Amino acid sequence: MGVSQLGSESRWRTANTESVQTVFTQQNGYFLIINNARQKQENQIKAIRSFISQRVDYIVFAPVVETGWDTVLQEAKEAGIPVILMDRTVDVEDRSLYMTCVGSDFVKEGENAGHWLEDDLWRQGRYDEVINIVVLKGTEGSSSQIGRTRGFSSVVAKHPNWNILDQAYADFTSAKGKEVMESLLKKYQDIDVVVSQNDDMTFGAIEAIRESGRTVGVDGDITVISFDAAYDALKMVAEGTINVDIECNPNQADYISDVIGMIENGQEVEKQYYVEEHIFTLDNVTEAVLRERNY
Ligand code: AHR
């Protein structure tokens, strides 16, 4: 089994890699070759080519961006090696170039963020007020960035009073999240809501907001909407620092192993499998939820 992981930019990614290493063990009948592409598509293409020349039985890969995979996936197809996409998907002309994709419904995650904001503004009696929003986006061209942006934007479109002040890329990392948030805070005096497309960027953004003298969260100046629901972020939800965290489930290798079982048994597989995900607020982050969190 050749696995091309796209990098190690976030807590989520570390957990996703751990899920692969825990499930695809020799004990479970696998010989795992895993490569970290460090956010570079060219490294992923190299890794896939090396898996092909090693004649692996399956290639699993988490594509850093959606486009640019047609040639290398054609090579895998010609070598007769099934490709399973993990986490993110690809945008290719011929969908037979990969067997299936196991990951998150990123559009739904973005919509959930928007629907939560609708409910929250309603609860606060601010439904018709002008609401100034900034969006910290993840890696440009990645499925998680594209899907979450699309989903949230579809809800924004229904609210002429929701004013998107800015949307800026911050690469899914804390350092970049802080840097980008600092510049947004200098540019805009009146930010009501930050939508940060992963927890790591959120941690950086919260630091920047606090250093600027403003407060965040349930009783704060700025509402914080985050994605992933990592342990450290859920603790902040429980404290009221992050208002809502839309879960992105990194424990995907078990699902992939089930899909491989189906393929091995000659069963038909679907083109897309979504993992189970929830929405976390102050009301449902219990001790039990925190105890079970593995990322
Ligand atoms: O594609 C999933 C996203 O990638 C996660 O939200 C983020 O933390 C990761 O880097």
Ligand 1 atom at minimal distance to the Cα of residue 87: 1
Give distance in angstroms: CA of 143 to centre of ligand 1.
Answer: 9
- Helix, strand and coil content of the chain, in percent to the nearest 5, comes to 40, 20, 40
Give distance in angstroms: CA of 5 to centre of ligand 1.
Answer: 12
Distance CA 48, CA 56 (A): 10
Burial 240-252 (b: 16+ CB within 10 A, else e): ebbbbbbbbbbbb
Out of 5, 6, 13, 137, mutate this one to test ligand 1's pocket (max ligand atoms within 8 Å of CB): namely 13
User: Does the beta carbon of 56 lie inside 6 Å of ligand 1?
Assistant: no
- The answer to whether the CB of 154 falls within 8 A of the CB of 164 is no
Of all protein residues, the one whose alpha carbon is nearest to atom 2 of ligand 1 is 144
Q: For residue 290, report the phi and psi dihedrals to the nearest 5 degrees.
A: -65, -40
pLDDT of residue 70: 98
**Residue 102, SS3 per DSSP:** strand
Distance CA 62, CA 281 (A): 29
pLDDT of residue 257: 98
Give distance in angstroms: CA of 201 to centre of ligand 1.
Answer: 10
Opening angle at CA 268, ends 267 and 271, nearest 5: 140
User: Does the beta carbon of 10 lie inside 6 Å of ligand 1?
Assistant: yes
In one-letter notation, the amino acid at residue 122 is W
Distance CA 193, CA 48 (A): 41
Ligand 1 atom at minimal distance to the Cα of residue 7: 10
User: Does the beta carbon of 24 lie inside 6 Å of ligand 1?
Assistant: no
Longest CA span, the chain: 61
Q: Bridge-partner residues for 226, per DSSP? A: 245
Would you state the structure tokens that stand for residue 16, as one six-digit string? 């996703």
Predicted TM-score (pTM) of this structure: 0.97
pLDDT of residue 287: 96
User: Does the beta carbon of 247 lie inside 6 Å of ligand 1?
Assistant: no
C-alpha 139: how far from its chain's center? 10
User: Does the beta carbon of 106 lie inside 6 Å of ligand 1?
Assistant: no
* Residue corresponding to tokens 């100034």: 132
User: Does the beta carbon of 12 lie inside 6 Å of ligand 1?
Assistant: yes
Give distance in angstroms: CA of 252 to centre of ligand 1.
Answer: 13
**What are the start-end ranges of the E strands in the chain?**
2-5, 33-36, 59-61, 83-87, 100-103, 131-137, 162-169, 193-196, 223-228, 244-247, 272-274, 279-280
pLDDT of residue 247: 98
Give distance in angstroms: CA of 12 to centre of ligand 1.
Answer: 6
- Per run of 10 residues, the mean pLDDT along the chain (length 295 residues) is 98 98 98 98 98 98 98 98 98 98 98 98 97 98 98 98 98 98 98 98 98 97 98 98 98 98 97 98 97 94
